[in-house]
């Protein structure tokens, strides 16, 4: 009986997170297409529903009913596994993300996180690093040149940018004296970390763009030279799983930017619940990511590597040094 009392809230929280994450790409694809359209001075999707609001639904139906094509000579088991492997890590990351202070319902207190673990930040970085396996498997199993090249690029890119990304948050951890995300948010009571850690934020943001493989760092799926990169051979529901994973990664990064550098749920105006305030900040970063996509050109491969190793990595080390000097 006691275990049910412990497990039931966990299951409810898990259900809410998974349901929201599965449905979130629907409005996000609509938003992305609309932002693209308005930046390019055209209306975008207008036919299905009011201002194309039902367009994502139509797309989803189209993707789900399409033929599930597996190329000849593909490694069938890995080919089928890859989209799932790509999808799981971004969902697992949400285990460690807190959305607000513990709430009181019927006299008992519930935390707004699945597990407020003391190594939360490290857990998030580690698990989001696993996401690259889906890309590797997809590229390898497809038995296609474009897919292999795309996945090789993405491995090199993910490894290169994981390092500055990890280093850039060390300053934040130093300020908070903890790797627990709630503690990190509490440490920003008064002044947000963006004031103390502008370099850290810059490195984290750029490395995050590269980790999510968004423009200007979307070389693994550069449609101009690689077809579509690692998911060239995928169609139907498996392709939509990859798309889902990409959007969830974007949401994770936006959330992390808000939590680590912009005070999380702190400083909410009195009429807003703190969790909603955090989601508004997240939405802002998602919007910035989309805005970037239609503003910047793609970098060349050698430029990508030199930005990662010769600019971001030294900058993140400098940031640790400066933070250390100021704290001393």
Partner 1 sequence: MEREFFLLLATVATGSGFLVVVAKDPIHSALALVACFVQIAALFILLGAPFLAVIQIFVYVGAVMVLFLFVIMMLNVRQEALTRFIPSGAIAAFVVTLVLAVEMGLLLSWSSDLHQLMAPAAEPPSVNALSLALFQDYLLPFEVASVILLVALVGAVILARDDEKADASPRRALHPAQGRVPGRVATPDTMPDILPDNGPDTGREPDNGPGTSGGMRR
- Residues 99-138 contacting partner 1, CB under 8 A: 117-119, 122-123, 125-127, 129-130, 132-133, 136-137
Residue 248 sits in the site that holds partner 1 (CB under 8 A): no
- With 0-12 CB in 10 A as exposed, 13-18 as middle and 19+ as buried, what is 2? exposed
Distance CA 17, CA 300 (A): 37
Cross-strand pairs, 105: 108
Residue 252 sits in the site that holds partner 1 (CB under 8 A): no
Residue 178 sits in the site that holds partner 1 (CB under 8 A): yes
- With 0-12 CB in 10 A as exposed, 13-18 as middle and 19+ as buried, what is 149? buried
Q: How far is the CB of 141 from partner 1 (least distance, A)?
A: 9
Residue 156 sits in the site that holds partner 1 (CB under 8 A): yes
Residue 139 sits in the site that holds partner 1 (CB under 8 A): yes
Q: How far is the CB of 227 from partner 1 (least distance, A)?
A: 12
Interaction pattern, residues 15-54, with partner 1; x per rule: CB under 8 A: ----------------------------------------
Angle 209-210-211 from CA coordinates, rounded to 5°: 95
CA 302, distance to chain mean position in Å, is: 24
Q: Element (H or E) spanning 112, and its range?
A: none
Residue 143 sits in the site that holds partner 1 (CB under 8 A): yes
In this structure, how many other beta carbons lie within 10 angstroms of the beta carbon of residue 136?
Answer: 20
Cross-strand pairs, 109: 104
Residues that bind partner 1 (CB under 8 A): 3, 73, 75, 78, 117-119, 122-123, 125-127, 129-130, 132-133, 136-137, 139-140, 143-145, 148-149, 151-153, 155-156, 158-160, 162, 178-179, 225, 300-303, 305, 309
């Amino acid at each position: 009986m006691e275990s049910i009392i412990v497990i039931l809230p966990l299951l409810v929280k898990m259900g809410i997170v998974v349901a929201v994450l599965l449905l979130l790409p629907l409005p996000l694809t609509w938003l992305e297409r609309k932002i693209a359209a308005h930046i390019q001075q055209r209306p975008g999707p207008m036919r299905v529903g009011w201002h194309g609001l039902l367009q994502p639904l139509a797309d989803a139906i189209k993707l789900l009913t399409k033929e599930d094509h597996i190329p000849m000579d593909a490694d069938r088991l890995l080919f089928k596994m890859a989209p799932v492997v790509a999808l799981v890590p971004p969902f697992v990351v949400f285990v460690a993300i807190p959305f607000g202070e513990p709430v009181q319902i019927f006299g008992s207190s519930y935390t707004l996180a699945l597990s407020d673990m003391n190594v939360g930040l490290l857990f998030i970085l580690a698990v989001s690093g696993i996401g690259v396996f889906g890309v590797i498997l997809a590229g390898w199993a497809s038995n296609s040149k474009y897919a292999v090249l795309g996945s090789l690029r993405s491995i090199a890119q993910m490894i290169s940018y994981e390092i500055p990304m990890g280093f850039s948050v060390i300053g934040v951890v130093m300020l908070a004296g903890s790797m627990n995300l709630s503690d990190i948010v509490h440490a920003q009571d008064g002044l947000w970390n963006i004031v103390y850690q502008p370099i850290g934020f810059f490195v984290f943001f750029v490395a995050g763009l590269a980790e999510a493989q968004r423009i200007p760092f979307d070389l693994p799926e550069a449609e101009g030279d690689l077809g579509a990169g690692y998911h060239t051979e995928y169609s139907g529901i498996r392709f939509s799983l990859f798309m889902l994973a990409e959007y969830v990664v974007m949401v994770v990064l936006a959330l992390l930017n808000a939590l680590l550098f912009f005070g999380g749920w702190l400083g909410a105006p009195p009429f807003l619940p703190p969790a909603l305030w955090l989601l508004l900040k997240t939405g802002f970063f998602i919007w910035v990511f989309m805005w970037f996509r239609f503003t910047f050109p793609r970098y060349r491969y050698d430029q990508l590597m030199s930005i990662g190793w010769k600019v971001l990595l030294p900058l993140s080390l400098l940031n640790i040094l400066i933070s250390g000097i100021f704290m001393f």
